[in-house]
């Protein structure tokens, strides 16, 4: 017995352009729907009427920055609403305030804005209109401007800070020298009231006991040590009398201004 296998003819499925077009149309409609939903939701949550900023809380210890002025800066942005405002813009605006070292802004649902501010801590005065912070940042507070209503009051408040002067960009080096010299003078009970550095980097010290020490523009530490070598013999007996020591000589120094013991050594 023979078995005969016969295959049925295969009929190809006809390609339907209309079906492919429908798929594309559905995809585009879905994408557009998602885009519309996203835009609608963005506009909805950015609406300051639906999601307003209800409270602005300012944290941190503010010794120098006016809280009302700070709050006004923040409120310039709150009209955009809780979600519509730009936190980075607020931080950048606050950072331009003279006493502000850092600012951090946080949203706290449903409508609270928390502003944390860290102020500069003044370490010294620099020239006539600036301060150096403990982080070695030079800044110019309005209290040092002569036309400021609080100028005289703040002059007294800043009077205890050492007065430094120097060229632009030299504040770190001058402050470092001030700290070094202060440590060297401390065992003698002497304190620096001012350190001046001119354009040639020639330095002059003013001490709280009316003594002026000229160090010049080189070998500062060596010359100060030479001054300290004669401190107890020549400075202590003056007992507050004004005197000037010029330490710029290679093998000695000159002393002037005191009623006695003036001359070269």
pLDDT in tens, 224-241: 999 999 999 999 999 999
Q: Is the pLDDT of residue 4 over 80?
A: no
| pLDDT band at residue 1 using 50, 70 and 90 as cut-offs | very low
Distances (CA, A) of 154 to 13, 27, 85, 144, 165: 92, 69, 36, 7, 19
- pTM beyond 0.85: the answer is no
56-92 exposure pattern, b = at least 16 Cβ within 10 A, e = fewer = bebeeeeebbeeeebeebbeebbebbbbbbeeeebee
* Region of poorest pLDDT, from 4-18, 158-172, 198-212: 4-18
Mean pLDDT of 200-211: 97
| Strand-pair category, 112-119 with 138-139 | unpaired
Give the span between the Cα atoms of 180 and 157, in whole angstroms: 25
Mean pLDDT of 155-179: 94
Mean pLDDT of 168-195: 96
pLDDT for the residue numbered 263: 66
Mean pLDDT of 110-119: 91
Reply yes or no on domain 55-119 having CATH 1.10.599.10: no
Rg of the chain (C-alpha set): 37
Mean pLDDT of 135-140: 94
Q: Is the pLDDT of residue 172 over 70?
A: yes
pLDDT for the residue numbered 84: 85
Percent above pLDDT 70 for the chain: 80
Residue intervals of the chain classified under CATH 3.40.50.11690 are 162-264
Q: Is the pLDDT of residue 121 over 80?
A: yes
Cβ neighbors of 166 (< 8 A, separation 6 or more) are 126, 127, 173, 174, 196, 197, 201
- For residue 240, give the 3-state DSSP assignment: coil
Mean pLDDT of 193-220: 96
Residue intervals of the chain classified under CATH 3.10.20.310 are 55-119
* Region of poorest pLDDT, from 47-51, 119-123, 145-149, 218-222: 47-51
| pLDDT band at residue 143 using 50, 70 and 90 as cut-offs | confident
87 closest CA partner among 104, 67, 72, 111: 104
| pLDDT band at residue 162 using 50, 70 and 90 as cut-offs | very high
* Region of poorest pLDDT, from 43-47, 141-145, 211-215, 216-220: 43-47
Q: Is the pLDDT of residue 3 over 50?
A: no
Reply yes or no on domain 162-264 having CATH 3.40.50.11690: yes
Query: What are 224's two structure tokens?
Result: 């100060």
Q: Is the pLDDT of residue 109 over 90?
A: no
Question: Among the ranges 103-107, 157-161, 191-195, which has the highest mean pLDDT value?
Answer: 191-195
Question: Among the ranges 63-77, 134-148, 210-224, 249-263, which has the highest mean pLDDT value?
Answer: 210-224
């Amino acid at each position: 017995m023979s078995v005969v296998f016969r295959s049925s003819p295969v009929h190809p499925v006809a390609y339907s352009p209309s079906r492919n077009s429908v798929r594309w149309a559905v995809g585009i409609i879905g994408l557009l729907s998602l885009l519309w939903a996203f835009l609608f939701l963005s506009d909805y949550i950015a609406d300051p009427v639906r999601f307003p900023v209800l409270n602005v809380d300012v944290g941190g210890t503010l010794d120098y920055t006016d809280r009302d002025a700070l709050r006004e800066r923040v409120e310039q942005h709150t009209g955009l609403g809780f979600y519509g405002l730009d936190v980075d813009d607020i931080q950048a605006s606050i950072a331009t305030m003279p006493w502000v070292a850092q600012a951090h802004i946080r949203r706290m649902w449903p409508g609270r804005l928390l502003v944390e501010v860290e102020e500069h801590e003044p370490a010294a005065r620099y020239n006539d209109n600036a301060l150096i912070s403990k982080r070695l940042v030079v800044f110019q507070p309005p209290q040092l401007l002569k036309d400021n209503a609080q100028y005289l009051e703040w002059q007294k408040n800043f009077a205890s800070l050492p007065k430094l002067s120097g060229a632009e960009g030299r504040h770190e080096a001058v402050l470092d020298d001030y700290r070094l010299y202060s440590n060297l003078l401390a065992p003698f009970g002497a304190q620096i009231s001012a350190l001046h550095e001119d354009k040639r980097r020639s330095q002059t010290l003013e001490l709280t006991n009316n003594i002026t020490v000229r160090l010049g523009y080189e070998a500062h530490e060596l010359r100060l040590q030479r001054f300290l070598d004669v401190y107890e013999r020549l400075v202590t007996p003056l007992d507050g009398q004004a005197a000037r020591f010029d330490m710029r000589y290679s093998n000695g120094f000159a002393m002037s201004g005191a009623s006695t013991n003036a001359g070269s050594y």
